């Protein structure tokens, strides 16, 4: 019987600074380790049993002896530390150059062209926190109907708008126009719709976020799987990350809890061949907001949800748990951090858990999926499928 694979990305849950972290100003970053230290220890019995505490020391977690899962960590071969770079690499694309960022806002020519395309001016055009800038400019936006444009340390062009002032359809249309504009010398990795609701002083972002990503420059393992008639289910922002490619069914999520509940339901229903999930709250709600306490509680809640998913898995299911970058909430600033990411691989009939060591690239995930699903993959990476044992 063919295996089914769950690929679960704990967005931003890094496990320590990479050797080149100093180039990014990220020396000493360690999202998981520092969060655990600041809160006085984590309570994550499910991932503890799998071997999370065997990857690095984590206050509150005892190294499992023996761990139930194969465990290790992965280094990012691509330059950068953003969502697109990390997800593309685990799907088999290693970038030569990082995506362009705009630490001083976007050039005036870009803003002028965008304003002409949407037939109105904009507010902002600066590097900012998404929650802070809507608190600061939201009232003016409601008065003028000008969208709020901002960026971050990532390669993103973000457009915030109140859903009662600019409809979702209109906001998504603005983003599509920005996506077409931001190519060539001004290209960005993602244009992101950031709708919000509420009144001044009580603004709140909604789950109707949508990412408009660059298309991957070559086929990813997802493209190859779909071409071979395997069913790929995306949960969370997966479809957006790959510009709609390589995903046969997509489910949006409200938050981590909703994503894990949806994952459990899909597993129980026996759907999909690859189920690719992103849990974004760690990053968006806590990492970027420098909230280690909230990050810790989110980790502990996710641990319980993952436990329910593991209980629902059949004997031929495999789960790969990893991350796409770091976002250490204890580190100076509020940006992503250049870190190793965890790697846990488990299935219900695993007889021996192996130390997978430090993998040289996230693309080892793509190579492993290619082995499991027997597709012709010529991309980078070294498969760890051999550690899983035979399908029963």
Domains plus CATH for the chain? 4-93+216-387 (3.40.720.10), 108-213 (3.30.70.1250)
First and final CA of the chain: distance in angstroms? 7
Tokens of 5: 């694979």
Q: Which residues pair with 156 in a beta bridge?
A: 190
Residue position matching structure tokens 């580190």 = 331
pLDDT digits (tens, 9 = 90+) for 291-341: 999 999 999 999 999 999 999 999 999 999 999 999 999 999 888 999 999
What percent of the chain is predicted at pLDDT more than 90?
A: 91
Residues in CB range of 243: below 8 A, 6 or more apart: 212, 213, 214, 215, 216
The three-state secondary structure class of 322 is: strand
In the predicted structure, residue 6 carries a pLDDT above the cut 80: yes
Residue 63: HSE in the Cβ half-sphere, 13 Å Cα cutoff: 10
Print the SS3 string covering 237-279: CHHHHCCCCCCCEEECCCCHHHHHHHHHHHHHCCCCCEEEEEE
pLDDT digits (tens, 9 = 90+) for 213-237: 999 999 999 999 999 999 999 999 9
Chain Cα centroid distance, residue 204: 21
Residue 374: HSE in the Cβ half-sphere, 13 Å Cα cutoff: 4
Between CA 150 and CA 300 the distance in angstroms is 32
Query: Do residues 328 and 20 touch, judged by C-beta distance below 8 A?
Result: no
pLDDT digits (tens, 9 = 90+) for 30-60: 999 999 999 999 999 999 999 999 999 999 9
Between CA 251 and CA 212 the distance in angstroms is 16
The three-state secondary structure class of 292 is: helix
Between CA 282 and CA 265 the distance in angstroms is 22
- Asked which of 4-13, 343-352, 381-390 is least confident by mean pLDDT, the reply is 381-390
Between CA 67 and CA 338 the distance in angstroms is 27
Query: Do residues 99 and 81 touch, judged by C-beta distance below 8 A?
Result: no
Band (174; pLDDT cuts 50, 70, 90) = very high
Query: Do residues 50 and 69 touch, judged by C-beta distance below 8 A?
Result: yes
Q: Model's pTM, two decimal places?
A: 0.91
């Amino acid at each position: 019987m063919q295996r089914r694979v769950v690929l679960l990305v704990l967005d931003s849950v890094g496990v320590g600074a990479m050797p080149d972290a100093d180039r990014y100003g990220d020396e000493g970053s360690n999202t998981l380790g520092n969060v655990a230290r600041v809160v006085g220890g984590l309570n994550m019995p499910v991932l503890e049993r799998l071997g999370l505490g065997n990857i690095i020391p984590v206050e509150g977690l005892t190294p499992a002896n023996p761990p139930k899962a194969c465990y290790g960590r992965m280094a990012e071969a691509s330059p950068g530390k953003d969502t697109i770079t990390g997800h593309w690499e685990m799907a088999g694309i290693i970038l030569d150059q990082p995506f362009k960022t705009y630490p001083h806002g976007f050039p005036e020519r870009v803003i002028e062209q965008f304003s002409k395309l949407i037939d109105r001016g904009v507010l902002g055009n600066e590097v900012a926190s998404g929650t802070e800038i809507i608190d600061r400019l939201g009232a003016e936006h409601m008065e003028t109907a000008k969208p709020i444009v901002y960026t971050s340390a990532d390669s993103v062009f973000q457009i915030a708008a109140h859903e009662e002032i600019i409809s979702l359809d209109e906001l998504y249309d603005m983003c599509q126009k920005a996506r077409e504009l931001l190519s060539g010398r001004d290209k960005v990795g993602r244009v992101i719709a950031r709708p919000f609701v509420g009144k001044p002083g009580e603004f709140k972002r909604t789950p109707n976020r949508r990412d408009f990503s660059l298309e991957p420059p070559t086929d990813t393992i997802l493209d190859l799987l779909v071409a071979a008639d395997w069913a790929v289910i995306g949960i969370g922002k997966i479809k957006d990350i790959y510009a709609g490619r390589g995903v046969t069914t997509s489910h949006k999520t409200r938050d981590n809890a909703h994503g894990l509940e949806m994952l459990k339901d899909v597993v129980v229903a026996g759907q999909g061949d690859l189920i690719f999930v992103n849990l974004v709250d760690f990053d968006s709600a806590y990492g970027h907001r420098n909230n280690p306490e909230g990050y810790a509680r989110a980790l502990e809640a996710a641990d319980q949800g993952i436990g329910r998913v593991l209980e629902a898995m059949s004997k031929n299911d495999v789960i790969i748990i990893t991350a796409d970058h770091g976002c250490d909430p204890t580190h100076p600033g509020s940006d992503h951090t250049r870190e190793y990411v965890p790697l846990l691989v488990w299935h219900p009939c695993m007889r021996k858990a192996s130390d997978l060591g430090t993998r040289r690239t996230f693309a080892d995930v793509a190579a492993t999926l290619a082995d499991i699903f027997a597709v012709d993959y010529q991309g980078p990476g070294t498969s760890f499928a051999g550690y899983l044992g035979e399908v029963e």
